[in-house]
Structure 1
Amino acid sequence: MCTRMAITLVAALTGSCEALAAQRIYCVADDANLKMSLESGFSAEKQGALDRFRGVLTLKDSKVPGLVETMRLTSAMLKQHSMDGSKLRLQVYTESQSGPFATLELTVDTAVAADDKTRFHGGYTVRIQTGTDGTRRELKTALARDGRVICELK
């Protein structure tokens, strides 16, 4: 009985060994819409949790008034993340700190590559909403873009 349980446990963990052994994850996208790089370490205390998330996002075709085209992304902006042996999902959200009210939401959704368990391929969606009256009461989508992203465990 113990042997069966051990084999089952090893089989269940095999798909996530790369993630457990990795020290950080790096994602990149560069297309007509944006240039983006994201990076995060894995927490030693909390298995699978991301630690020290950071990134840079440059919108190439932004026509949103008052929007900063290049933005630094921080751990405080990482609102949701999940990772298992086969999928990685990140959600970044931030609001403007000054000027007219605006929000930025970035979602990265990827799946592990069939030929390389350390690489994840998928897409991103970035959406910016602005307050029509300069506040958060009435938001309208000012910019919505999507494209391809690649992430790699290192």
Structure 2
Amino acid sequence: MRVVTAGLATLLFVACCPAYAAERLYCAAADEVLKLSIESDISKRDKGKLVNFRGVVGIRDEKVPPAFRHLRFDTPVLAEQSLNNRQLRLQVSSGLQDKKLLGSFELTILTTPTQKAERFQGNYAIRISISPDNKTPRDVVLSHGASVVCYLR
């Protein structure tokens, strides 16, 4: 009975709320420096706006302090999004804080469609800067870019 009730509730939610009855976006990249994973819903009602956006970056570079090597982010840090003319552009920007360090994190993804309409291929660029306080200029400890693949499902 609970399964039927949950199924009906889900069906009613999708039927009454088409903004969430949308495509899904998945992006992934992995190399010797980092592993990146992003997923989001794409709202049909709001002209391709990303909703429920979230991602994880795992950094393997020793120059990055341990507190900043595993980053999780979601919708509030999504500074820019564009999915028009089938080009995908995302920009994530956030502050970082540890007991002894302040930092900033910027991630940009730019992709274009491949021959398969649901697959996008392009590049990402990530930059992490740190300083001991707000008065000291931040040092760039990681500036890296490589290829990324995104899928619409």
CA contact 1:22–1:153 (8 Å) conserved in 2:
no
Give unmatched runs, 5+ long, in structure 1: 1-20
Provide TM-score, normalisation by structure 1: 0.78
- 1:62-81, aligned counterparts within 5 Å? 62-81=62-81
> Which residue identity does 1:148 align to in structure 2?
S
CA contact 2:22–2:43 (8 Å) conserved in 1:
no
Q: Which residue is 1:6 aligned to?
A: none
Give unmatched runs, 5+ long, in structure 2: 1-20
> Which residue identity does 2:64 align to in structure 1?
V
Report the alpha carbon displacement of residue 64 of structure 1 after superposing the two structures with TM: 2.2
Higher RCO, Cα 8 Å, sep 6+ = 1
Aligned residues: 132
Q: What stretches of structure 1 move > 3 A for 4+ residues in a row?
A: none
Q: Which residue is 1:116 aligned to?
A: 116
Greater mean alpha carbon deviation, residues 140-149 or residues 38-47: 38-47
Query: How far apart, CA to CA, are the structure 2 residues paired with 1:25 and 1:144?
Result: 25
Query: How far apart, CA to CA, are the structure 1 residues paired with 2:130 and 2:64?
Result: 9
> Which residue identity does 1:104 align to in structure 2?
F
Percent identity, aligned pairs only, is 35
- 1:4-153, aligned counterparts within 5 Å? 23-99=23-99, 100-113=101-114, 115-131=115-131, 133-135=132-134, 137-153=136-152
Superposed CA deviations along residues 83-135 of structure 1, whole A, max 9, x for unmatched, are 1133101001111133311001011111111x11111100010000112x422
Give the RMSD, CA atoms, in angstroms: 1.8
